[in-house]
Structure 1
Amino acid sequence: MIIYPTLELHKGKCVSLTRGRLEEPVIWHVDPVETARGFAEAGASWMHVTDIDALLGEGDNADLIEEIIRAAGIPVQLGGGFRSRERVEDWIDRGAGRIVIGTMAAHDPDLVRELAKLHPDQIVLAVDIFEGHVMTEGWRSRSAFTPEDYVKAFDSAPLAGIIVTDIDADIEETDGALGVISGLAAETRHPVIARGTVRSVDDVARLKYVPNISGTLIGRALLARDVDLAEALEMARPEPEPTADFL
């Protein structure tokens, strides 16, 4: 299972959002570039970055993200405000390892399928769930899609994966979120990346054994030092299969 240490960027600062509430960000007084370097030094093979300003359509953190991509030395999975072919391809050209697409997939699914074919293993679908429906526009608009029908619509696309977030689940109620995410993981052939379920290393251990969950994003828990990244990476490593002794 892949651990994606995560940075959410808002006006050049690292923040965390509680259930997507943009008006109440938790600001972390850390250097984003040095933090990204630290993720790589701890042994992470990937990291995830969300540009909150681009998500809101209120500017972006492009220069900072480019610096993070250069400094991290590991592939960066980038999300936030991808609503056109041009922006997706621009960031692939700038060195982003993967692009996470949410709202655009609901409005123009054919374009997302085409982008996935043109850029195999570089397009990730974001599925944000609230009250049984897929949310768009940065969790602000409720679509008519159920999560199950939504992911099935992309079954034929060569996606790198699907990030699933259960917005319903309270931050303290990881059991509920895990139930929704594991249920959806059973409905798709694509590897699922869980978001919003890790508050401790024990949560990593639980996710590791859920079928078809290939990874998890960890942001707030790392920045709050509730989770040690090196320990989480060790926990996520596959265990060797037992071998039979032959006489």
Structure 2
Amino acid sequence: MIIYPTLEILNGKCVSLTRGRLAEPVIWHVDPVETAQQFAAAGAEWMHVTDMNGLRGDGENDALIEEIIRAARIPVQLGGGFRSRERVEHWIDRGAGRVVIGTMAAQEPDWLHQLAKRHPDQIVLAVDIYQGHVMTEGWQKYSALEPDTFIAAFDQAPLAGVIVTDIDADIEDQDGSVGVISGLAAKTRHAVIARGTIRTVDDVARLKYVYNISGTMIGRALLSKDVNLAEAIAVARPEPERVAEFQ
């Protein structure tokens, strides 16, 4: 299972949100570029960056995100308000390993199919769930789409994976979140990346045995130092199978 250390960038600062409330960010007084370098030094294979201003449709974090991509020296999965093919290709050209699409997938599914075919294994579908339905616009708008139907609509698209967030259980009810995410993971052929489920290293140990969970995103728990990244990566690695000794 791959650990995706995660940075959420709002107005040039690292933040964490509770249930997507952009008006009430927790601000972390760390340097985003240095933090990305620390993630790589700890052994991360990938990292994830969300441009919160991109979700809001304001601000300008492009220069900072480009610097993070260059400094990290590991592949970066980038999310945050992608609403045009030009914007997606802008970031792929500038070194983003993957781009995450959520709202536009719900609004224009054919557009996402075409985009995935144009950039196979570089597009990730974001599925944000609240009260059994898919949310859009950075968790701000409730849709009529049910998560399993939504994911199934893209089963034949050459996606790099699917990020699943259970907003109902974000932070407070971790066990419920794992249940929702594992249920969806069992219904798709795409590798699923869980979000919002890790508060301790023990959670990593539990999650790695869930069927079709290929990775998990960890942001707040790393920045608060509740989770040590190097330890989490070690725990997430597959354990070697025992081989019988033959005489």
TM-score by length of structure 2 reads 0.99
- Pair 1:52-2:52 in alignment: yes
User: What whole-Å deviation, never above 9, does each CA across 1:93-146 have from its counterpart, x for those lacking one?
Assistant: 010000000001011111111111111110000000000000000101111110
Question: What does residue 143 of structure 2 align with?
Answer: 143
The CA distance in 2 between the partners of 1:215 and 1:122, in whole Å, is 16
Instruction: Report the alpha carbon displacement of residue 59 of structure 1 after superposing the two structures with TM.
Output: 2.4
Instruction: Report the alpha carbon displacement of residue 84 of structure 1 after superposing the two structures with TM.
Output: 0.7
Question: What does residue 42 of structure 2 align with?
Answer: 42
User: What whole-Å deviation, never above 9, does each CA across 1:163-222 have from its counterpart, x for those lacking one?
Assistant: 000000151310000000000001100000000000000000111000000000000000
Question: What does residue 69 of structure 2 align with?
Answer: 69
Question: What does residue 189 of structure 1 align with?
Answer: 189
Question: What does residue 107 of structure 2 align with?
Answer: 107
The CA distance in 2 between the partners of 1:244 and 1:156, in whole Å, is 40
Question: What does residue 29 of structure 2 align with?
Answer: 29
Q: Which residues of 2 match residues 124-163 of structure 1 at below 5 A? A: 124-163=124-163
Which amino acid in 2 is paired with 1:118? R
Moved over 3 A (4+): none
Question: What does residue 240 of structure 1 align with?
Answer: 240
Q: Which residues of 2 match residues 207-246 of structure 1 at below 5 A? A: 207-246=207-246
Which segments of 5 or more consecutive residues in structure 1 lack a partner in the other structure? Answer: none
Contact 2:166 2:196 in 1 (8 A): yes
Question: What does residue 3 of structure 1 align with?
Answer: 3
Which amino acid in 2 is paired with 1:122? Q
53-62 or 9-18, which deviates more = 53-62
Which segments of 5 or more consecutive residues in structure 2 lack a partner in the other structure? Answer: none
The CA distance in 2 between the partners of 1:121 and 1:106, in whole Å, is 19
TM-score by length of structure 1 reads 0.99
Question: What does residue 20 of structure 1 align with?
Answer: 20
Contact 2:122 2:160 in 1 (8 A): yes
Which amino acid in 2 is paired with 1:77? Q
Which amino acid in 1 is paired with 2:227? V
The CA distance in 2 between the partners of 1:60 and 1:200, in whole Å, is 33
